[in-house]
Structure 1
Amino acid sequence: MADTDKEADGGTPHLRRGWTTGSCATAATRAAFEGLVSSHFPDPVTVTLPGGQTPSFALATTASGEGWARAGVVKDAGDDPDVTHGALILATVRPAATGAGLVFRAGPGVGTVTRPGLPLAVGEPAINPVPRTMIARTLDEARAAIGGPADIEVEISVEHGEKLAERTLNGRLGIVGGLSILGTTGIVVPFSCAAWIASIQRGIDVARASGFTHVAASTGNTSEQAVKALHDLDDVQLIDMGDFAGGTLKYLRKAPVPRVTLALGFAKGVKLGQGLLDLHSKRGSVDLEALSAIVADLGGSDTLVRSVNGANTALEALTLCRAAGIPIAEAVAERGFATAAALIGGIGMELEVVLFDRTGGFLASTGFRKA
């Protein structure tokens, strides 16, 4: 949903991969179930991932009592800078009422869904569908091997999860009380973008389901806070798109809202206007020659055109233009609008591109108009 498990093909080469919270919760559940049924906790415990891999996990803790058993696994996110790296993921299993089947509970540190629009119903523990399927599968495998009850309650907890969740987007998405248990492949790929894209999509889903008709997608905290103040937006309307303008716009075409604002810093606005949809510095740089050509079209002097072409940064180019009274920010915003409109045009959405400076100061807006 909104934490930081990152899964994708590719990723940065030569970095060690890790395991999602869903994989760790599955391993802990398998060990706890076997502890409940046989009083023996397998250590290490092996589980099957959606792709068929069968990793083994060392247990960090075990406990049991009358009618319950618990096991814990420490999450290893590999070389990814993951919020949940090193967190203790705990599963407590108990027999459930006859006919109940598999029942999930949110223990301490795992959130509960409070808003519509997510792949789980309101009131459900924030244990995503794929981890639920993984847990169900591992319990089936365990019952086939050692027997045990078909009706089971599984409570997943994360030590210090409520505090860790403050560093995620869970609160904005209406997941309260802790983290989400995530994973689609079970494997964390260092520095991949899949989790960020998923958070963008879930943010749009929640805003739509909450009845909002306007969302603002921003490239960073400064532009986000500035556009929030500009339009007096609720947090649910704010989408942290980072550098993923293309991913955001493509999803909005599938899941449209009547009004969309793109809020960017000047340099990323220039890149968007150049036609770039991934705004990361590794994917493309500001084209100062093209920017200087815009300055010439706007009536800038030959000296200014040469200065912009030779500027060290987009910020320097902006400063030079503003000092000369050249409306470069307005022109850049319009070019960004054209890039975005090419992706979401023709389906009735109104689009606005707004640019802010590094302090959140307003630079330019295209105003809302049909894409």
Structure 2
Amino acid sequence: MSEKKVLRKGYTTGTHTVAAFRSCLDTFLITNSQTTTKTNKIDNDDLDVTKGCEIVVSLDFDIENFLLNPTFQKPQIFSCKTNSLEIYAGLGVGVVTKKGLKIQAPYPAINPAPLEAMQEYFEIKTKNKENLHLKCCVSVTNGQEIAKQTANLKVGVLEGISILGTTGIVKPVSSSAYIDSVKTEIEFAIQNNYETIYFTLGNSAFKVACSKANEEAIIEIGNFIYDSVELATKQNAKEVIFLCGIGKMTKVYQGFKNTHNRFGVIDFTKLQLDIKENLGYEVDIEATLTVKGISQELEKVGLLDAFYEMITKKANEQIKQWFKTSNVKAIILEQKEVLGW
């Protein structure tokens, strides 16, 4: 038997930024001239678009020597005795332009934890200095392109990625970066007074939701059903509509908290028994082991709408069993016309 692969942990963009800042400041205090430090985000076994990105930290007395994010911004300013540090978003690091995020507009999209760590190190290293006023620029090479793969634009973080991190560690295959993004989007939607939040799984579901709501209220949750509903429940979202295709919804009703295939496949024997019990019809699972195939068979005998209703009802019952909430409503994509969508 082969040994189980040990999955690699990694470090957040915030941790890398703090490390680069510390090195940059140490060098600056020796040379007393413009200094730049670069680091590449360590690869790991998480699903994160920022893996391998180059983070650049520069220090100088004057911001004129920096290439800043073109979006209007105010720097984060830290003062210690007679010394001060101003932190700017350079090219590839976003600037916050809307309310509802951890950082207020119009400041660099650098989360509080890395900011605090940078400020603490500045205080330690400059405690014997006087009247030292430094400007710091944090950039990410090609950050504008990387940001297109994130939800930054939707939540008003412009022209770059966010520098994230709380614990500093990225756990492997936890997909923590994706879940953190979902959490941020939920917080944003609630802060911006959206009564209903839409969770979508798949491009088709997203397009349908866009016909019903502002994109700011629509969150693509990937396969993270349980995690996303749990986040919305903890944040007291008033109403969540979860929209996906019948295949994935069948997994939800069968108790799958994550609908990715690596977490298991649909139990077609159970599905066959449930159809027989609820619809009085026995489908031929030997002929097809796909939900689509079963749908086509049931359509021929006039039971398709009843099948949709069964799956929807059972999925909603499963969600309520998980969270004891009535604020989440599951709708299968194929049934949107039936429900007046």
TM-score by length of 1: 0.76
Q: Determine if the alignment matches structure 1 residue 262 to structure 2 residue 230.
A: no
Q: Determine if the alignment matches structure 1 residue 94 to structure 2 residue 71.
A: no
Q: Tell me how far 1:200 sits from its aligned partner.
A: 1.4
Q: Compared with structure 1, are the counterparts of its residues 340 and 250 closer, same or farther at alpha carbon in structure 2 (3 Å cutoff)?
A: same
Structure 2 counterpart of 1:212, which letter?
Y
Q: Compared with structure 1, are the counterparts of its residues 287 and 89 closer, same or farther at alpha carbon in structure 2 (3 Å cutoff)?
A: same
Structure 1 counterpart of 2:38, which letter?
G
Of residues 158-167 and 257-266 in structure 1, the stretch that sits farther from structure 2 once superposed is 257-266
Structure 1 counterpart of 2:19, which letter?
A
Q: Deviations over 1:237-294 (max 9, x none)?
A: 1112122211122222222233211011212101111233222223232121221123
CA distance in 2, matches of 1:292, 1:105: 59
CA distance in 2, matches of 1:239, 1:99: 46
Q: Which residue of 2 aligns with 1:289?
A: 269
Contact persistence 1:329–1:364 (CA under 8 A): no
Which of residues 158, 180, 191 in structure 2 aligns to 1:209? Answer: 191
Contact persistence 1:70–1:90 (CA under 8 A): yes
Q: Deviations over 1:80-129 (max 9, x none)?
A: 45322332211122358875744321111110112222111121211011
Percentage identity across paired residues of the two chains: 24
Contact persistence 2:46–2:176 (CA under 8 A): no
Q: Tell me how far 1:151 sits from its aligned partner.
A: 5.0
Contact persistence 1:219–1:241 (CA under 8 A): yes
Q: Which residue of 1 aligns with 2:320?
A: 341
Q: Which residue of 2 aligns with 1:113?
A: 96
3-state SS of 1:126 partner: coil
CA distance in 2, matches of 1:164, 1:292: 44
CA distance in 1, matches of 2:9, 2:281: 53
CA distance in 2, matches of 1:205, 1:136: 26
CA distance in 1, matches of 2:196, 2:184: 15
CA distance in 2, matches of 1:330, 1:365: 12
Q: Tell me how far 1:215 sits from its aligned partner.
A: 0.9
Q: Deviations over 1:146-179 (max 9, x none)?
A: 8686654322111111111011111122211100
Q: Which residue of 1 aligns with 2:291?
A: 314
3-state SS of 2:146 partner: helix
Which of residues 158, 161, 164 in structure 2 aligns to 1:182? Answer: 164
Q: Tell me how far 1:76 sits from its aligned partner.
A: 2.2
Q: Deviations over 1:185-213 (max 9, x none)?
A: 32333322222221111111101111211
Q: Which runs of 5+ in 1 are unaligned?
A: 1-11, 40-63, 357-361
CA distance in 2, matches of 1:323, 1:13: 48
Q: Which residue of 2 aligns with 1:82?
A: 48
Contact persistence 1:355–1:365 (CA under 8 A): no
Contact persistence 2:20–2:56 (CA under 8 A): yes
Which of residues 9, 16, 41 in structure 1 aligns to 2:8? Answer: 16
Structure 2 counterpart of 1:125, which letter?
P
Q: Which residue of 1 aligns with 2:72?
A: none
TM-score by length of 2: 0.83
Contact persistence 2:13–2:165 (CA under 8 A): yes
Q: Which residue of 2 aligns with 1:330?
A: 309
Q: Which residue of 2 aligns with 1:59?
A: none
Of residues 198-207 and 24-33 in structure 1, the stretch that sits farther from structure 2 once superposed is 24-33
Contact persistence 2:47–2:175 (CA under 8 A): no
Work out which structure has the larger RCO, using CA pairs closer than 8 Å and 6 or more positions apart in sequence.
1
3-state SS of 1:91 partner: strand
CA distance in 2, matches of 1:173, 1:164: 15
Structure 2 counterpart of 1:176, which letter?
L
Q: Tell me how far 1:366 sits from its aligned partner.
A: 8.8
CA distance in 1, matches of 2:45, 2:267: 33
CA RMSD between the two structures: 2.8
Q: Tell me how far 1:331 sits from its aligned partner.
A: 0.9
Which of residues 123, 138, 141 in structure 2 aligns to 1:156? Answer: 138
Q: Compared with structure 1, are the counterparts of its residues 33 and 149 closer, same or farther at alpha carbon in structure 2 (3 Å cutoff)?
A: farther
Q: Tell me how far 1:364 sits from its aligned partner.
A: 5.0
User: How many residues end up aligned between the 2 structures?
Assistant: 318
